[in-house]
Amino acid sequence: MKPLRMGVAILILALATGLLGAQEKKTEVRVERDLTYGKGGDQDLKLDLAMPKDGAGPFPAIVCVHGGGWKAGSRQSLAKTIEGMAARGYVAVTISYRFSQVAKFPAQIEDCKAAVRWLRANADKYHVNPDRIGAVGFSAGGHLVCLLGTTDKNDGLEGQGGNPEQSSRVQAVVSFFGPTDFTTKTWSDEVEKEFLIPLFGATLEENPTLYKKGSSISYVTKDDPPFLFFHGTEDKLVGLRHSQLLADKLKGVGVNAKVVVMEGEGHGWQGEKLRQSIEQMFAFFDEQLRK
């Protein structure tokens, strides 16, 4: 499956998220675009933010991370997603991060962590509850939010993006068909050539240490936040085992983790199954971030 097709599936999901949020809540929202949240090398890192127009909060927050094989896609594809979340009482951001043709791993997760730290540093300005921040990602974005959920400051992935005094930990994670394990080769040569060598700068055989560093299963500990996974049984790009493996490791140390298996679906879905997935995502975030 090519990146363009992945992008279409994710765009459908983004639109549905926005529509569902608007239908269920009539809260007016305020949107700010092109906010600089940090630095990636010499590149300004940007995000778009949506929040309830009225009320002092503090509101729980959600960081949204788009997919595209770590080399394509855009934060703007999730514009309706963050508006839908804001309509439900969240401060939501959709972030850009450095692509693999600009910087190799771990630049991508460093940028995601910088975005979380920026949210905490600006919690008063945007009425964010700094103790209630979740993350959702799609495909490559799912990979990145899984790393957000399992890594901490001691794992060496913080980067130099800004606000180092703030924590990059999140309190809830939702992954839509994100890869979690690069330590065992289960992918095709085509996937390796198109996505993984550009990301890591080498094959698994050439640099197994870096592939382990990019695998969220490598960092699981009992203090990780709750996780919710969505994955299709017929996903040929990122196999269902990725979500199941991380969920099993999390549950093995006592962390709340659940995989919603989408029977017969591939790398994205739509229709009634999509509506149900969005409802489950919101229910999970409501439960974990509104305590």
Give the distance, in angstroms, between the CA of residue 285 and the centroid of all CA atoms in the same chain.
13
- The one-letter amino acid code at 286 reads D
- What's the pLDDT score for residue 26? 64
- From the number of C-beta atoms within 10 Å of its C-beta (0-12, 13-18, 19+), residue 205 rates as exposed
**DSSP helix/strand/coil, 281:** helix
- Residue-wise pLDDT for 128-181, tens only, equals 999 999 999 999 999 999 999 999 999 999 999 999 999 999 999 999 999 999
Residues 64 and 82 sit within 8 Å (Cβ to Cβ): yes
Tell me if the bond preceding 58 is cis, omega within 30° of 0.
yes
For residue 18, is pLDDT > 80?
Answer: no
Task: Give yes or no for residue 207 having a pLDDT over 70.
Answer: yes
